[in-house]
Chain A
Amino acid sequence: MKLKLIACEVLYREMCALIARSPHQVDLAFLPKGLHDIGSSGMLERLQAAVDGADTPGYDALIMGYALCNNGISGLRARTLPLVIPRGHDCMTLFLGSRSRYQQYFNDNPGTYFLTPGWIERGESAGELRQLSIQNRNGMDLTYDQLVARYGEDNARYLFDELCDQTKHYRQITYINMGLDTDSRFHDLAEARARTNEWKFDAVEGDLSLLERLVFGTWPDTDFLVVPPGHQVVTTYDDRIIAAEAVQE
């Protein structure tokens, strides 16, 4: 097969490693990390533009290096080529290899912030995406000094604690080792960040098998949604996570 992969750049290292070994020819397009931060309609618009641009003769399918991603993939339409999407809430399913493993870990460790090499080296959204982000639009990424300038000293402390202090939403950092690290750099950075925030630290082994099947062309319905041409992705709110429905024009 000849496949085109459209993936979030947070998967850069993993995807490149897998594509090198794929039995198929896989062309590759990365989109910037942080689309989930601009809201579902903004993310969908950009994904659809990427799909539409890639929907050209010669490919057998478009494969997506995305999960539901805060509903950012909901509404995505397959034009003339089928779209293949792993079933998962977010990229942690892709890194951990299955949504059951992710759910289990999630339930057992509430308030975990996951880090991978991609999340570390491409961690902060920059430039235009940052401007468009929900955080930016709601004043969540203002510094304390900016808050003082806009709202006065009294309100600044209150707003900082309420809106801008992101540390209160998490208790733990978990580093997912995808097995591609050549040294302990990323692991050490993750551990240091946990220490700075005074959070618990855990490290687990990643599992490339789900992404491998995506790139190797093995797409059982249990783990992948194949969206036929003329159909779109819908959220199912159950364990399937996503389904395809015919586009009503």
Chain B
Amino acid sequence: MEDLKKLYDAILTGNFKIARETTQQALAAGIDPQALVQQQMIPAMDEVGRRYEANEYFVPELLISARAMKASLELIRPLLAAKGAEPAGRVVIGTVKGDLHDIGKNLVAAMLEGAGFEVIDLGVDVSPEKFIAALNERHATLVAMSALLTTTMNSMKTTVEAIKAAGVRQKVKIMIGGAPVTQKYADEIGADGYSNNANAAVALARKLVAA
């Protein structure tokens, strides 16, 4: 299984080319895609998360590891889907209306994809209506909202209210994040969770979809 360790290492060190190559080789050799994900890839991303929490890895390392994970997952996902395997969850993510900042949002999206979520990324300046339309069309169970500015943070509140008004609040969990956002604010606007970094956002998303 020496070769499979290469996939683990490629994700851990953020080498997307090696990640893609070793995945291709493993699949060609008839290795079970599910086993690849469970035994190599997700453990690699968990180690990335551990290193981030321990201040050994920083945001650039998170990004390149998630990118390598994604390169590998793109090859594996069609095979899993053909077998009828469901993603860890479907999440609609976006930076809220009025706000064009997307570094944090992209990082969370990449980490969620790396954790096996299907991520529907609506981009920046996303209106409540767009969130709701995507929720309905894609049957997502999780909404993740980001804002960098206190000026735009209030769009999170109006989006939560719009989701309630559209009658779909019971079908989804809502998580929020971004520099000015706090747990207190999440509680105030009736969001289900808050995370202050991208790694913790993955744990939060797992917890929310399991609830």
Interface residues in chain A, defined as those with a beta carbon under 8 Å from any beta carbon in chain B: 40, 68, 70-71, 89-90, 102-103, 106-107, 110-111, 134, 137-140, 142, 147, 150-152, 154-155, 158-159, 162-163, 168-171, 235, 237, 241
Stretch at the interface among B29-37, B76-84, B97-105: B97-105
Question: How far is it, in angstroms, between the C-alpha of A102 and the C-alpha of B189 when the chains are bound?
Answer: 24
**Interface membership of B56, Cβ < 8 A:** no
Q: How far is the CB of A7 from the nearest CB of chain B, in Å?
A: 20
Residues of A within 8 A of B89 (CB): none
CB-CB contacts below 8 Å: B78-133 with A: 98-103, 106-107, 125
The answer to whether B179 touches A150, judged by C-beta atoms less than 8 angstroms apart, is no
Beyond contacts A71-B180, A138-B59, A241-B150: 15 other A-B pairs, Cβ-Cβ < 8 A, are A68-B150, A70-B149, A70-B150, A103-B151, A106-B98, A107-B98, A111-B100, A139-B59, A151-B14, A155-B16, A158-B63, A159-B60, A159-B64, A162-B107, A235-B150
The answer to whether B58 touches A154, judged by C-beta atoms less than 8 angstroms apart, is no
Q: Nearest residue in A to B16 (C-beta to C-beta)?
A: A154
The answer to whether B64 touches A155, judged by C-beta atoms less than 8 angstroms apart, is yes
The answer to whether A237 touches B154, judged by C-beta atoms less than 8 angstroms apart, is yes
A139 touching B60 in the complex, CB below 8 Å, given contacts A134-B179, A162-B103: yes
Question: What are 27 A-B pairs with beta-carbon distances under 8 A?
Answer: A40-B180, A68-B150, A70-B149, A70-B180, A71-B150, A89-B149, A90-B149, A103-B151, A106-B151, A107-B98, A110-B98, A110-B125, A137-B58, A139-B60, A147-B60, A150-B60, A154-B16, A155-B14, A155-B16, A158-B67, A163-B60, A168-B102, A170-B100, A235-B185, A237-B153, A237-B189, A241-B150
Q: Nearest residue in A to B97 (C-beta to C-beta)?
A: A110
Residues of A within 8 A of B15 (CB): 152
The answer to whether A169 touches B102, judged by C-beta atoms less than 8 angstroms apart, is yes
**Interface membership of B137, Cβ < 8 A:** no
Residues of B within 8 A of A102 (CB): 151
Q: Nearest residue in A to B181 (C-beta to C-beta)?
A: A71
Question: How far is it, in angstroms, between the C-alpha of A134 and the C-alpha of B59 when the chains are bound?
Answer: 11
Q: How far is the CB of B181 from the nearest CB of chain A, in Å?
A: 9
Q: Nearest residue in A to B150 (C-beta to C-beta)?
A: A89
Question: How far is it, in angstroms, between the C-alpha of A70 and the C-alpha of B154 when the chains are bound?
Answer: 13
The answer to whether B151 touches A90, judged by C-beta atoms less than 8 angstroms apart, is yes
The answer to whether A158 touches B59, judged by C-beta atoms less than 8 angstroms apart, is no
Residues of B within 8 A of A106 (CB): 98, 151
Q: How far is the CB of A245 from the nearest CB of chain B, in Å?
A: 13
Residues of B within 8 A of A155 (CB): 14, 16, 60, 64, 67
Q: Nearest residue in A to B104 (C-beta to C-beta)?
A: A138
Question: How far is it, in angstroms, between the C-alpha of A90 and the C-alpha of B107 when the chains are bound?
Answer: 26
Q: How far is the CB of B12 from the nearest CB of chain A, in Å?
A: 14
A163 touching B179 in the complex, CB below 8 Å, given contacts A106-B98, A139-B60, A154-B16: no
Q: How far is the CB of A5 from the nearest CB of chain B, in Å?
A: 23
The answer to whether A110 touches B151, judged by C-beta atoms less than 8 angstroms apart, is no
Partner of A237, one of B60, B67, B188: B188
Q: How far is the CB of A205 from the nearest CB of chain B, in Å?
A: 21
Residues of A within 8 A of B98 (CB): 106-107, 110
**Interface membership of B50, Cβ < 8 A:** no
Question: How far is it, in angstroms, between the C-alpha of A169 and the C-alpha of B68 when the chains are bound?
Answer: 25
Q: How far is the CB of A38 from the nearest CB of chain B, in Å?
A: 12
Q: Which of A152, A171, A237 has the most CB of B within 10 A?
A: A237
Residues of A within 8 A of B154 (CB): 237
Q: Which of B16, B60, B188 has the most CB of A within 10 A?
A: B60
Question: How far is it, in angstroms, between the C-alpha of A169 and the C-alpha of B100 when the chains are bound?
Answer: 5
Q: Which of B14, B150, B154 has the most CB of A within 10 A?
A: B150
Residues of A within 8 A of B58 (CB): 137-139
**Interface membership of B17, Cβ < 8 A:** yes
